[in-house]
């Protein structure tokens, strides 16, 4: 029996360590879906690790906002849908709909109430229609990831941006990118708070960074995590329109008609010559 217990312990002991990286990689992020039938956007807020697992999120700890193409900011009401939070936004005009959320979970245990507060921030820009303007600007969030590359037609290649903390460039800070094909990239911001990734696949990319803010006594005062979601499949150029086959058919008809007319004329000329020769012989 002791051998069985020892075997079970040895079997599951490594998972205590291997599971830590995955558990510590949780974040809050936004997923947007355009519903054509009702002409609105469905906005889901999830907590977990993208393409891996999702944990329950309490809407009482969340605040969701949208900046519409008219540059008007609205606070969106949330509803609990399973383990995630959801909101709906009517599409009033074509352009960029910029969503961001603030998540401040309450400590699960009373003894953790004295721990530094944690704030999670997430942002996503969703284009609607052909008039979408992908110009980027700061939303003045506590911790924010801002692209500096034009994402109007970005699909793959060099993706650049900057990290701001209270509107100040954050240097020497790690930032990670999770790709659609399970890519995991990590770089560090330079002295200007800038970073650069090479995205080699099309789809949803999630960028994530975090910081521990310290007070004057070098004690951790609060912790911030920020994510930015970009779906590069939305920015792919539209397919080229199919050629206008009507003109092709008209051209074929005209050419065929001309060839047929020439054939008729030649045939009539040939028969005319035959009749003239018969008349001469008679």
Nearest to 140 by CA among 108, 107, 187, 98: 98
Mind listing the pLDDT tens digit for each residue in 256-271?
A: 555 565 555 665 566 6
Mind listing the pLDDT tens digit for each residue in 21-65?
A: 333 457 899 999 999 999 999 999 999 988 888 899 899 999 999
Q: How far apart are CA 47 and CA 28, in angstroms?
A: 4
State pTM to two decimals: 0.71
Q: Which residue has the higher pLDDT, 95 or 195?
A: 195
Helix locations, the chain, DSSP H:
2-12, 15-24, 245-281
Length of the chain: 282
Buried/exposed code over 42-74 (b: 16+ C-beta within 10 A; e: otherwise):
ebbbbbbbbeeebeebebeebebbbbbbeeeee
Instruction: Identify the pLDDT of residue 9.
Output: 39
Mind listing the pLDDT tens digit for each residue in 125-135?
A: 898 876 665 56
Buried/exposed code over 84-95 (b: 16+ C-beta within 10 A; e: otherwise):
bbbbebebeeeb
Count Cα atoms within 13 angstroms, Cβ side, for 112: 7
pLDDT band at 178 (very low <50, low <70, confident <90, very high): very high
Q: Which residue ranges make up each domain of the chain?
A: 36-231, 245-275
- Mean of all residue pLDDT scores within the chain: 79
Q: What tokens appear for 205 in the block? A: 């990319």
**CATH number of 36-231, picked from 3.10.310.10, 2.60.40.10, 2.60.40.1120, 1.10.4190.10:** 2.60.40.10
């Amino acid at each position: 029996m002791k051998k069985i217990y020892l075997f079970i312990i040895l079997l599951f002991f490594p998972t205590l360590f291997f599971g830590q990286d995955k558990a510590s990689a949780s974040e809050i992020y936004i997923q947007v879906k355009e519903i054509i039938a009702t002409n609105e956007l469905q906005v889901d807020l999830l907590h977990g690790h993208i393409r891996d697992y999702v944990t329950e999120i309490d809407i009482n700890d969340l605040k969701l906002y949208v900046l519409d193409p008219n540059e008007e900011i609205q606070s969106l009401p949330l509803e609990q849908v399973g383990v995630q939070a959801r909101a709906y936004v009517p599409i009033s005009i074509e352009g960029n709909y910029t969503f961001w959320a603030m998540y401040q979970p309450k400590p699960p245990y009373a003894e953790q109430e004295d721990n530094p507060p944690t704030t999670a921030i997430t942002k996503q820009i969703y284009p609607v229609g052909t008039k979408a303007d992908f110009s980027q600007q700061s939303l003045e969030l506590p911790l924010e990831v801002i692209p500096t590359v034009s994402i109007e037609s970005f699909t793959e290649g060099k993706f650049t941006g900057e990290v701001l903390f209270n509107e100040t460039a954050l240097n020497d800070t790690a930032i990670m990118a999770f790709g659609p094909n399970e890519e995991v990239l990590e770089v560090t911001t330079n002295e200007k708070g800038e970073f650069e990734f090479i995205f080699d696949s099309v789809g949803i990319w999630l960028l994530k960074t975090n910081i521990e803010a310290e007070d004057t006594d070098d004690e951790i005062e609060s912790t911030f995590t920020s994510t930015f979601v970009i779906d590069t499949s939305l920015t792919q150029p539209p397919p080229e329109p199919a050629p206008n086959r009507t003109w092709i058919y008209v051209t074929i008809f005209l050419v065929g008609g001309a060839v047929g007319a020439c054939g008729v004329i030649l045939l009539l000329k040939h028969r005319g010559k035959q009749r003239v020769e018969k008349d001469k012989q008679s």
